[in-house]
Amino acid sequence: MAIQNDQFKKIVAHCKEYGFIFQSSEIYDGLSAVYDYGPYGVELKNNIKQYWWQSMVQMHENIVGIDAAIFMHPKTWKASGHVDAFNDPLIDNKDSKKRYRADVLIEEYMEKIEVKINKEIKKAHKRFGDSFDEVKYRAENPRVAKYIANHADIGSQLASAMSNNDMVTLKGIIEELQIACPVSGSRNWTDVRQFNLMFSTQLGNVAGEEGKLYLRPETAQGIFVNFLNVQKTTRQKIPFGIAQIGKAFRNEIVARQFIFRMREFEQMEMQFFVAPGEEMKWYEYWKDTRLKWHKAIGTPEEKLRFHKHENLAHYANAAVDIQFNFPFGFKELEGIHSRTDFDLSSHQELSGKKLQYFDPVLGENYVPYVVETSIGCDRMFLATLSNAYEEEIVPDAKGNDSTRTVLKLNPAIAPVKCAVLPLVKKEDALTKKARAIFEDLRFSFNCQYDEKDGIGRRYRRQDAIGTPYCVTVDGTTLEDNTVTIRERDSLEQIRVPIEKVEQIMSDRINMKKLFL
C-alpha cells in the first residue's frame, strides 16, 4: 500500500504541474474537496464525457439525452427520499476533534482483515507453489477461516445497522472492535449522528422554509420528473433510456483522496425504463455493457471488479458497484442500480400527476421500473489518469537511458492529439513549414505547435500530457515533403508524406474504434 500511496502522491502532483487539476481558490488556501480543471484537465474530462455520451446516446437508438437544471422544486427531494433519508452516520473523536463516517471506519477495519487474509494466501502460494489450492486453503486453514468468519460477521452487523438506521449499534460495533482515531489514537468517541448531505440555499423573494432550495445531490431526479415529457416528445417505447451529464453536490463529511470524494462533482447517469418484472434482465444487461465500456477504453480487467451491495438503498431491489483499483485500493467507480418504480411512484403520489406509460404490447398502463447506471465523471478521470500514469526508462536522442513520465491515455481521449515540432528553431524554412502543417491539422483535432527547447525535452513535455503523436519536421521535409510521426508508447517513428498525416492520425484517434 505504501508504494501505491507514493504513486498516488505523484499523480496528484503531476495533475497540478501539468495543468490538469488545481485546488479551488488556491490563493486563499483552497476550499476543501472542491477542485478546478486546468487546460489539459478540461480537455480530458470533455473527452471522457464524449466517450460516455456517444456510447450511450449515439450508439443506442432507444436512449435520448437531456440537460435538466440543478435547482428543482423542493418537493422533488421529499419524494425522492433525500430530505428524510440521504444521511451519512457521522462520529467525532473528542480528542482530535476529527470527524469521520462511522460506516467508513468500520469498512476500513474490514479492509485490514482482507489485507491479512491476502497476505496469508500469498505466503501459502509461495510455500506450496503450483499445487496450491486457494479455495481449499481459505476453507481449511484455521487462521484464514477465522479471519473470513470475522470479516463476514462484522459485514452483516454493519449492513443490518445501516439498513435499520441504527446509530446505537454502529457505535457499539466501533467500541467492540476498539477502533481508534487515526489522528489521536484515542477511542474517545461521541455518539453516532445522522447528517444530511444536501446543500441548501434560499430563493431570493421567498422567506423561510418555503423558499428553501437544494443543490441536487444526484442528476437522476431531473430525468424522473421529465419522464413523460421525453417519452411523449420522442415517441420512445419501453424499454428506453434517458441520459444526462451534470453537476451534483454533496456535503461529504470526510472529503479526501483528491477528486475521488468531492463536494461538487459531475455525474453521468442513465435511467433505463422497463416493464415491471423485466428489471433483472436489464440489470444484468447493463452490468455487462458498462463493464465492456470500461475495458474498451483500456482499463485492464484485473483493475475492475463487481461489488454487490448487501445494504440496499431505500429505492433499490438490486445494486452493484463497478470498483476500480485506485492507488488507494478497490473503490466504487460506478453504480448500477435496479431502482424499482420507487421514484416515479413517489413523484406521482406527491405531485398528483400521473407518471404512467401505456404499453401497446401488453395493452395496459403501468409505472415503469428503472435500472440506472451512474458514474462519477471525476472518479472516471482519476481512474483513467491512475491507469495511464507511468514512469519508465527509455533511450534518449543519444541512445542513453533516461526516465520519462508518460500518460498512456487511449488516443481517442487524450487532451492533445498531436504536436507539430520543427527539429530546430533556427531555420526559418523549417519553422514556416511546421507552422503550416499545424495550421492545417488544427482544423481536424486538438494540436499544439512547439519550437522551444531541444527536441528531447519537447517529446517529454508531450509524453507528460499524454499526446499520442508528435509530427517532426526536419531537413528531409524541405527536400521531399515528408515528416516523421512518433508514437508515444512504442516510440516508433514512421516517415510519411505530409498530405497523408491528417488521414493517418484521424484513423488512429477515432473514437469509433471503441464502439466496434
Q: With binding defined as CB under 6 A, does residue 82 bind ligand ATP?
A: no
Provide, rounded to whole angstroms, the least separation between the CB of residue 34 and ligand ATP: 10
DSSP-assigned letter for residue 129: G
Please give the residues from 402 up to 461 whose contact with ligand ATP meets the rule CB under 6 A. none
Nearer to ligand ATP, 335 or 422 (CB): 335
Residue whose beta carbon is closest to ligand ATP: 376
Neighbours of 185 (CB within 10 A): 10
Provide, rounded to whole angstroms, the least separation between the CB of residue 386 and ligand ATP: 14
Please give the residues from 379 up to 408 whose contact with ligand ATP meets the rule CB under 6 A. 379
CA angle 143, 148, 153 (to 5 degrees): 125
User: Residue 379 in contact with residue 299, Cβ under 8 Å?
Assistant: no
Provide, rounded to whole angstroms, the least separation between the CB of residue 332 and ligand ATP: 5
* All residues at 6 or more sequence positions from 381 whose CB lies less than 8 Å from its CB, including other chains: 41, 44, 45, 48, 259
Provide, rounded to whole angstroms, the least separation between the CB of residue 354 and ligand ATP: 28
Query: DSSP characters for 330-359?
Result: EEEEEEEEEEETHHHHHHHHHH-----EEE
Nearer to ligand ATP, 218 or 450 (CB): 218
- Among 222, 246, 327, 376, contact with ligand ATP (rule: CB under 6 A): 376
- Among 57, 375, 447, 470, contact with ligand ATP (rule: CB under 6 A): 375
- Among 271, 374, 386, 472, contact with ligand ATP (rule: CB under 6 A): 374
Nearer to ligand ATP, 15 or 238 (CB): 15
Provide, rounded to whole angstroms, the least separation between the CB of residue 452 and ligand ATP: 37
Provide, rounded to whole angstroms, the least separation between the CB of residue 185 and ligand ATP: 26
Q: 146-173 burial by CB neighbour count: b if 16+ within 10 A, else e?
A: ebbeebeebbebbeebbeeebbebbbeb
Q: Which three cell numbers stand for residue 498?
A: 505530409
Provide, rounded to whole angstroms, the least separation between the CB of residue 355 and ligand ATP: 22
Q: With binding defined as CB under 6 A, does residue 111 bind ligand ATP?
A: no
Nearer to ligand ATP, 216 or 261 (CB): 261
Site stretch for ligand ATP (CB under 6 A), options 109-117, 280-288, 326-334, 463-471: 326-334
Beta-bridge partners for 495: 484
Query: CA-to-CA distance for 266 and 264, rounded, in angstroms?
Result: 7
Q: With binding defined as CB under 6 A, does residue 162 bind ligand ATP?
A: no
Site stretch for ligand ATP (CB under 6 A), options 125-133, 371-379, 429-437, 490-498: 371-379
Query: CA-to-CA distance for 43 and 41, rounded, in angstroms?
Result: 5
Provide, rounded to whole angstroms, the least separation between the CB of residue 315 and ligand ATP: 11
Beta strands in 150-229 (DSSP E): 193-196, 200-202, 212-214
Provide, rounded to whole angstroms, the least separation between the CB of residue 58 and ligand ATP: 22
Q: With binding defined as CB under 6 A, does residue 14 bind ligand ATP?
A: no
Provide, rounded to whole angstroms, the least separation between the CB of residue 375 and ligand ATP: 5
Q: With CA atoms as reference, report the closest residue to 217 among 378, 80, 377.
A: 80
* All residues at 6 or more sequence positions from 478 whose CB lies less than 8 Å from its CB, including other chains: 429, 430, 433
Local structure of 448: helix, strand or coil: strand
How many amino acids of this chain bind ligand ATP (CB under 6 A)? 16
Nearer to ligand ATP, 231 or 373 (CB): 373
Local structure of 480: helix, strand or coil: helix
Q: Cell 481459505, residue?
A: 138
* All residues at 6 or more sequence positions from 133 whose CB lies less than 8 Å from its CB, including other chains: none
DSSP-assigned letter for residue 20: S
- Among 92, 334, 343, 474, contact with ligand ATP (rule: CB under 6 A): 334
Residue ranges binding ligand ATP (CB under 6 A): 218, 250, 252, 261-262, 265, 267, 332-335, 374-376, 378-379
